[in-house]
Amino acid sequence: MSKANPHYQKITREYIFPIIDKELEQVREEHPNKKILNFGVGDIVHPLKPSIVKALTKACTEMGEKVVGYGPSTGYHFLKKAVIDSEYGKYGIKASEVFISEGTINDCVNLLDILDVDNEIAIPDPAYPSYLDAAIMDGRTRAAKKGNDFPDIIYLPCTEETGFLPRPPKKGCDVIYLCSPHNPTGMALTRSDYEQWIDYAKEHDALIILDAAYECFIRSDNVPKSIYEVKGAKDVAIELRTFSKSAGFTGLRCAYSIVPEAIKAKLGKEDVSLHKLWTQRQNAKSNGVSYPVQRAAEASLSKKAHEETTEDIEDYLIQTKRLKDGLRDHGQTCYGGDDCPYIWWKCPEGVSSWDFFRHLLNELHLLCIPGAGFGKRGEGYVRLSGFTNEEAAKEAVKRLKKL
């Protein structure tokens, strides 16, 4: 008989987003006439922009006129070049250091393939759940005792004391997941925060994997758009970006990882280039992203499409601000939301995040995500997503009166 991967049994929490969908369905059944306002999962609410649709349809038509077969597994040069021309060239990154993929979720978990299981991994808490789940599924930690942290993971608390962002730990580690702007707390690492992380990574010969899925929402001057704006980053950091939020590609699927050639990792007595291993991994385990999707992604980086998508991003930021101001006007304590479309809302004293979540859903018909779903240190908060429209945000603020 085949043997299942035993590490899956160590995962005791269910993946948060499908649970939220189930809760939503249940409340919809119980209250069919009540309009539930969805500030939960954080999916886009605006359709694709005209220039992107045009490029997508043109590429599909092209495929009916000539054969477009397998493309390069690390992505077409035209898209890599567009990534370089639109921004990364100015940081000295080359097209060969750009790897196109189906999503940042794929990149952040697949990168573990090129890293030894012996690496000590540091993960923010609370965080996007895939980092931890992938490390557990991969057999990188022993099981947690009931209610305890996983023993081989270094947790980076993102709590009130740390400004809701991960800070370099006292002890050394080998691989660090960072996410900035940070999901779920909605805060962003500043230039000096990055400097501290880069110094730490150099001191401990560690690798930083930066998930920059929400980079397009950055507005503060002291928050770099890319870690490569900061000196030394190219030696220690891999950066991940997606078209999901910047251009509304959650249903199309396209993202990229930047893996600088300078980054080295130990392999026995030698140092090996992670760029080489990542190329090898992608060649063996992927046949790339579809041609029309890559053409659409290329179009999204054009000046015209950028203007169109920026309107949506600005709108999400406006709705986020509307929600945050509304919460504060109602005496609520909340954080984030300036460089990120997420608000980290403090639960009333002594109320758990699941209880507060259910109260908001059942009484105010507002759907958010309980902070505990992002990790133990997310307890005491709920995440409210600003991926919404003006009508829903205004209605939500009205409903807050009932709190």
Residue 237, H or E segment: strand 237-242
Q: Which one of 104, 226, 246, 385 is in contact with ligand PLP (CB under 6 A)?
A: 104
Rounded to whole angstroms, the Cα distance separating 61 from 72 reads 21
Burial class, 79, CB count within 10 angstroms (exposed 0-12 / middle 13-18 / buried 19+): buried
Residue 266, H or E segment: strand 264-267
Cβ(210)–Cβ(240) below 8 Å = yes
213 binds ligand PLP, rule: CB under 6 A:
yes
Beta strands in 51-129 (DSSP E): 98-101, 121-125
103 binds ligand PLP, rule: CB under 6 A:
yes
Give the type of residue at 375. G
Taking the least distance from each CB to ligand PLP, the nearer of 183 and 309 is: 183
Select from 97-105, 135-143, 222-230, 372-380 the region that touches ligand PLP (CB under 6 A). 97-105
What is the length of the chain?
Answer: 403
DSSP string, 36-50: -EE-SS----SPPPH
Select from 25-33, 98-106, 165-173, 272-280 the region that touches ligand PLP (CB under 6 A). 98-106
Taking the least distance from each CB to ligand PLP, the nearer of 184 and 326 is: 184
Taking the least distance from each CB to ligand PLP, the nearer of 324 and 383 is: 383
Q: Name which of residues 358 to 377 contact ligand PLP (CB under 6 A).
A: none
- Site size toward ligand PLP, by CB under 6 A: 13
Rounded to whole angstroms, the Cα distance separating 117 from 133 reads 14
Rounded to whole angstroms, the Cα distance separating 158 from 340 reads 16
Rg (alpha carbons) of the chain, rounded to whole number: 21
Taking the least distance from each CB to ligand PLP, the nearer of 194 and 365 is: 194
Which residues is 271 bridged to in the sheet?
A: 266
Q: Name which of residues 39 to 58 contact ligand PLP (CB under 6 A).
A: 42
Rounded to whole angstroms, the Cα distance separating 334 from 112 reads 34
Cβ(82)–Cβ(296) below 8 Å = no
Residue written as tokens 């997503």?
385
The least CB distance from residue 217 to ligand PLP, in Å, is 11
The least CB distance from residue 103 to ligand PLP, in Å, is 3
The least CB distance from residue 127 to ligand PLP, in Å, is 8
Q: Which one of 128, 278, 356, 374 is in contact with ligand PLP (CB under 6 A)?
A: 128
The least CB distance from residue 311 to ligand PLP, in Å, is 20
Select from 44-52, 100-108, 157-165, 371-379 the region that touches ligand PLP (CB under 6 A). 100-108
The least CB distance from residue 183 to ligand PLP, in Å, is 4
Taking the least distance from each CB to ligand PLP, the nearer of 91 and 128 is: 128
Taking the least distance from each CB to ligand PLP, the nearer of 250 and 273 is: 250
Give the type of residue at 36. I
Taking the least distance from each CB to ligand PLP, the nearer of 317 and 364 is: 317
Rounded to whole angstroms, the Cα distance separating 320 from 336 reads 9
Tokens of 340: 């990120």
Rounded to whole angstroms, the Cα distance separating 391 from 400 reads 15
Taking the least distance from each CB to ligand PLP, the nearer of 176 and 364 is: 176
Cβ(211)–Cβ(104) below 8 Å = yes
Q: Which one of 20, 105, 154, 237 is in contact with ligand PLP (CB under 6 A)?
A: 105
Name the packing angle between helices 291-300 and 50-65 (round to 10°). Answer: 150
Taking the least distance from each CB to ligand PLP, the nearer of 239 and 326 is: 239
Q: Which one of 74, 185, 242, 294 is in contact with ligand PLP (CB under 6 A)?
A: 242
Select from 99-107, 215-223, 258-266, 320-328 the region that touches ligand PLP (CB under 6 A). 99-107
Residue written as tokens 């962003």?
188
The least CB distance from residue 40 to ligand PLP, in Å, is 11
In the shown chain, the binding pattern of residues 161 to 200 toward ligand PLP, with x for contact by CB under 6 A and - for none, equals: ------------------x---x-----------------
Tokens of 163: 């400004």
Catalog residues that contact ligand PLP under the rule CB under 6 A: 42, 103-105, 128, 179, 183, 211, 213, 242, 244, 250, 255
